Chain A
Amino acid sequence: TQLLEQSPQFLSIQEGENLTVYCNSSSVFSSLQWYRQEPGEGPVLLVTVVTGGEVKKLKRLTFQFGDARKDSSLHITAAQPGDTGLYLCAGLGFQKLVFGTGTRLLVSP
């Protein structure tokens, strides 16, 4: 069974701080997606990374896929209250999309 562990599980920070969320596995994935989920809503795709070592930027969010395609990270610069939500990574393995355990982020003004 392929597993994706995210850390930290919970993160509470002040507006303007930087943070990094990690998504780790012992399995290799052909691609990795990051979703954000707000309360009462379904997850919404933020980005897909495909190539080992790939870095993608989405405004203040930077996503990186590990060289071995087993892990990924999400870095947020100068977090804002609008970044509050549940962040989920999802790896495409053998015929299967596996979701991570999730990181719940709270950004206070």
Chain B
Amino acid sequence: NAGVTQTPKFQVLKTGQSMTLQCAQDMNHNSMYWYRQDPGMGLRLIYYSASEGTTDKGEVPNGYNVSRLNKREFSLRLESAAPSQTSVYFCASSEHTRYNTGELFFGEGSRLTVL
């Protein structure tokens, strides 16, 4: 059972470069999320998608864009990376809508370093 799969697992960028983090889930969940995790700050929501074709901003959306390509896939793009975006990024999915959040299933994370 794959669950939630994220790629790449590690990435080093220079300031100003762009990149896309890919996420796919095979649990037929409606909702998908992108979080970032920084020491001492828990998980902060960047963007979420309650269903295919819809996306909404979370707590820290600046500097990011997302695409819900289909029900399975939700990508996160950094158009011009900054050192402040150095973090571990997690994709998650859930069976419920954002307004009645059930269990979140997380990927293994993507560790991004911006020099």
Q: Taking A42-B109, A44-B106 as contacts, is the C-beta distance between A95 and B40 under 8 angstroms?
A: no
Question: What per-residue 1/0 map shows which CB atoms of B12-34 lie under 8 Å from chain A?
Answer: 00000000000000000000000
Query: Which single member of B4, B90, B101, B108 contacts A97 (CB below 8 Å)?
Result: B101
Could you tell me if B42 and A9 are in contact, using CB atoms closer than 8 angstroms? no
Q: Taking A33-B103, A92-B101 as contacts, is the C-beta distance between A42 and B4 under 8 angstroms?
A: yes
Query: Which single member of A35, A43, A101 contacts B40 (CB below 8 Å)?
Result: A101
Contacts of B101 in A (CB 8 A): 92, 97
Could you tell me if A41 and B42 are in contact, using CB atoms closer than 8 angstroms? no
Q: Taking A42-B4, A92-B101 as contacts, is the C-beta distance between A101 and B106 under 8 angstroms?
A: no
Contacts of B102 in A (CB 8 A): 48
Q: Taking A41-B108, A41-B109 as contacts, is the C-beta distance between A99 and B103 under 8 angstroms?
A: no
Chain B residue nearest to A97 in the complex (CB) = B101
Report the interface size class on chain B. 20 to 34
Chain B residue nearest to A102 in the complex (CB) = B42
Q: Taking A33-B103, A48-B103 as contacts, is the C-beta distance between A42 and B108 under 8 angstroms?
A: yes
Question: What per-residue 1/0 map shows which CB atoms of A88-109 lie under 8 Å from chain B?
Answer: 1010100111011110000000
Q: Does B77 contact A (CB under 8 A)?
A: no
Q: Does A4 contact B (CB under 8 A)?
A: yes
Query: Which single member of A9, A45, A95, A102 contacts B104 (CB below 8 Å)?
Result: A45
Chain B residues at the A interface, C-beta cutoff of 8 Å? 4, 35, 40-45, 90, 92, 98-99, 101-104, 106-109
